[in-house]
Amino acid sequence: MREPIRHWTQKNMPDLHGSYAVVTGGTSGVGFAMSAALLRHGATVIIVGKQASKGVTAAAKLRAQTGQQNVTFMGADLADQAATKHLANRLLRMLPKLDILINNAGVMMPAKRTLTRDGLELMWAVNYFAGFILTSELMPLLLRSDHARVVNVASIAMGRPHLTFNQFDGHDYRPWTIYTTTKLAQAMMVVKLNQLLTEAGQSVTVTGSSPGLAATSLKTISSRKTAWLMRMGALSFRLLPFLRQSPDQAALPALYAATDPNAQGGVIYAPHAWRGLRGYPALWAWNQRPELHDQKLLDRLYRASRNVTGV
């Protein structure tokens, strides 16, 4: 596996004129920073979010900040499989091809378990299955690109997640366990989908990234809607703000994975310093996790994902 060049930044991004990119969760935080960088380098960008008012405002802000006009907001509730598939159908009709898909949208540790209309726990629905659906359904557009990239945005949350196949409804709800396991599943699907596409001789590359610790809209300590661990994290970041890096810096691993000619498929990129907390893009220690090399487990997750989503 090749390491990125040292101190890779947005200045190292190639020209993206003529390219089309979709960024889920692109209306704020790190996703907004990713979208701005892609726009500045010439890409046509579609940002996806749940709230229409927030999305329209974000698109206008991106135009003002970058001086580029080729950005469109598309609304979709990615917790709903039918809505996610409808979004994919709209994109299939709208775009001539797709060069970059960044599955960035996520939910982080709600205090209480929420079941979606499809009977899935909310984090499983948004963090993992929405990206699986979009990647699968948008494959015809990705295959029209000469060198398409799919990037699953994982998380610095390491823990010791244990993937089982009876947990998608979040019974026996433990926010931290489910969150870290959905992120592990994202990383596993990077490996599995890249294997399938390579075996099929296709030019689509699937890779992953982690933003490290990013200074974004983490819920406040007073919020009762997030798990206690999130509230403690918010308090620590207030007291020690230097722990987190800017959204622009946190976006670099995903931007490297999505645009650099040397980025490899089937691996995860993360900040190089403080055990993946901050810094410039580098290969992440998660690439050594045994689950990413257990072919039977990867195959089983792929089969389960198809069964749950129907794609």
List pLDDT tens digits, range 137-154.
999 999 999 999 999 999
Q: Answer yes or no: 302 catalytic.
A: no
- Higher-confidence residue of 12 and 218: namely 12
Inside any domain, residue 98: yes
Inside any domain, residue 1: no
Q: How far apart are CA 269 and CA 263, in angstroms?
A: 9
Q: The domain spanning residue 267 has which CATH number? A: 3.40.50.720
Asked whether 75 and 24 are in contact (CB, 8 A), the reply is no
Q: Comparing 13-17, 75-79, 242-246, 280-284, which segment has the lowest mean pLDDT? A: 242-246
Is the per-residue pLDDT at 64 higher than 80?
yes
- What percent of the chain has a predicted confidence (pLDDT) above 90? 81
| The pLDDT value given to residue 206 | 98
| The pLDDT value given to residue 216 | 57
Q: Tell me the one-letter amino acid at 123.
A: M
Inside any domain, residue 8: no
Q: Which domain holds residue 81?
A: 15-309
Q: Tell me the one-letter amino acid at 140.
A: P
| The pLDDT value given to residue 19 | 98
Inside any domain, residue 6: no
What does the pLDDT average to over 47-68?
97
Residue from 128, 179, 269, 280 carrying the catalytic annotation: 179
Inside any domain, residue 69: yes
The tens digit of pLDDT for each residue in 14-48 reads: 999 999 999 999 999 999 999 999 999 999 999 99
Structural domain count, the chain: 1
Q: How far apart are CA 281 and CA 268, in angstroms?
A: 10
| The pLDDT value given to residue 158 | 60
Inside any domain, residue 2: no
Confidence bin at 286 (pLDDT 50/70/90): confident
Confidence bin at 220 (pLDDT 50/70/90): very low
Give the residue from 4, 43, 37 showing the smallest Cα distance to 20: 43
Is the per-residue pLDDT at 244 higher than 90?
no
Query: Which DSSP string do the residues of 266-278 spell out, in sequence order?
Result: T-EEEEEEGGGTE
Inside any domain, residue 4: no
Inside any domain, residue 9: no
Is the per-residue pLDDT at 177 higher than 60?
yes
